[in-house]
Amino acid sequence: MEGSAELDQKRLPRVSRRRALRVAAHAALGAVSIPWIVSCGSQRAPSNIVAYVSADDVLAREVLAACRKATGIDVEAAFDTEATKTMGLERRLLAERDRPRADLFWSSEGFAAVRLAKAGILRALPAAIVEAWPAVHRDPNGRWLAFAARARVVVSRAGVDAPAPIAAWADLARPNLARGSVASIAIADPRFGTTNSHLAALRAAWRAARGRGVDALEFDAWLDGMRANGVRILPGGNAATVEAVATGECAYGLTDTDDALAAIERGLPLTMTLPRSLPAGVAGGGTMLVPNTVCAIAGGPGDASRADAVAAFLVSPACEEIIARSPSRNLPLGPKATARVPYAESDPLGFDLAEAAEGAAGGAIAAKARLEGAPS
């Protein structure tokens, strides 16, 4: 779908920023000090649970306030810095494995949950919660659940001089791609965030497809083609790629639906497309969905039943509808959510999640070096 459609203007009330930013007094209570933990409830209680959260902090506070209203459970949400996001919290959980400080991890993507499960950091959620969730969106062993997904998209300038739309990810490597004032393509640093997971997913999916005889591009050839067309790797992440396209510096930008739709809603002259990853007619060949994930930490310090209740809320229709109606406009993955978002992906990219997650870090370093190399 192309992204100049009118957006739903309804917005749920947000938690007071002053109240949400109040620092919990852990040291005074004799707890281990985690200075960036903030309380999303009215006051700290010994039975509170701690959640490490890499989702947008304003949205997460809104969701956790709704969770407290629905369940009566206070959640102390720990947010890492914007620069490291999920990766920073994943490393923290690994470092704390012998003495966990968190009960839950709410990640804004899925690869970290897969790696943490493999490392033995996670415990299984109750069967009643797991089995009620679609099998395609959960860990086979019940250690994580995926919900409320964004989609990977390409943005381009709208208007009379708009470049040709990108119908397939492979099109970004075609010769003589339209250029902006600086380069053809803007991309966030592939070592981080959803760009990291997207490139890993494409690498795995294209390799598997070629093994089945599908006409799929070779990943390094795709990188070389984009490099030849001119690529800007931007440290400011997905939002920076959108801005580079909106200002005319680049003709195309790789980003997520939340950043693209937010820019379109602000009135920037942009079009959003959901390119296919594999040729038309190949099942599982659409664009990549990037879900949120929730998982429970093995040996977490709080009450496990309360952590499970919060996890159940995060995969409830109430939570998915809050996120769908928020500026993020995430696509609900549960069977009962009724909220609509201004895009759809009926055939999302299928790939080996474990393989992609395992190779994401090393593959991203190699991809960045290849994109930055001198054109051949």
Q: What is the pLDDT of residues 224-250, one digit of tens each?
A: 999 999 999 999 999 999 999 999 999
- Is the pLDDT confidence value at 372 over 90? yes
Question: 291-310, pLDDT tens digit by residue?
Answer: 999 999 999 999 999 999 99
Q: Greater confidence, 39 or 108?
A: 108
> Which pLDDT does position 82 carry in this prediction?
56
> Which pLDDT does position 253 carry in this prediction?
98
CA distance 53 to 88: 11
> Which pLDDT does position 14 carry in this prediction?
35
Extract the tokens encoding 192: 């981080």
> Which pLDDT does position 161 carry in this prediction?
87
Q: Which residue, among 41, 46, 102, has the nearest Cα to 73 in the 3D structure?
A: 41
Residue spans per domain, the chain: 17-149+291-325, 150-288+348-372
Q: Would you say the CATH fold of 150-288+348-372 matches that of 17-149+291-325?
A: yes
Q: What does the buried/exposed string (b/e) look like for 58-87 if buried means 16 or more CB atoms within 10 Å of the residue's CB? A: ebbbbbbbbbbeeeebbbbbbbbeeeebbb
**Rounded mean pLDDT, 50-74:** 95
> Which pLDDT does position 160 carry in this prediction?
81
CA distance 174 to 169: 10
The fold of the 150-288+348-372 domain, in CATH, is: D-Maltodextrin-Binding Protein; domain 2 (3.40.190)
List, in sequence order, every residue forming a beta bridge with 138; answer none if it has no partner: 145
CA distance 100 to 92: 9
- Is the pLDDT confidence value at 86 over 90? no
Question: 318-327, pLDDT tens digit by residue?
Answer: 999 999 999 9
Question: 130-146, pLDDT tens digit by residue?
Answer: 999 999 999 999 999 99
- In 3-state terms, the chain is what percent helix, strand and coil (to 5)? 40, 20, 45
> Which pLDDT does position 83 carry in this prediction?
53
- Is the pLDDT confidence value at 374 over 90? no
Q: Greater confidence, 26 or 265?
A: 265
> Which pLDDT does position 129 carry in this prediction?
97
Question: 4-20, pLDDT tens digit by residue?
Answer: 332 333 333 333 322 33
> Which pLDDT does position 217 carry in this prediction?
95
CATH superfamily of 17-149+291-325: Periplasmic binding protein-like II (3.40.190.10)
> Which pLDDT does position 84 carry in this prediction?
56
Residue 364 sits at φ, ψ, to 5 deg, of -70, -40
CA distance 17 to 38: 11
DSSP-assigned states of every residue in 295-363 = EEETT-SS-HHHHHHHHHHHTSHHHHHHHHHSTT-PBP-SSS-----S---SSPPP--HHHHHHHHHHH
Question: 244-256, pLDDT tens digit by residue?
Answer: 999 999 999 999 9
DSSP-assigned states of every residue in 24-90 = P-TGGGTPPP-TTEEESSSS--TT-EEEEE-S-HHHHHHHHHHHHHHH---EEEEE--TTTHHHHHH
- Is the pLDDT confidence value at 37 over 60? no
The band of 42, judged by pLDDT with boundaries at 50, 70 and 90, is very low
> Which pLDDT does position 27 carry in this prediction?
26
> Which pLDDT does position 19 carry in this prediction?
31
Q: Greater confidence, 272 or 87?
A: 272
Mean pLDDT (the chain) is 87
pLDDT > 70 fraction of the chain, expressed in percent and rounded: 85
> Which pLDDT does position 85 carry in this prediction?
63
List, in sequence order, every residue forming a beta bridge with 46; answer none if it has no partner: none
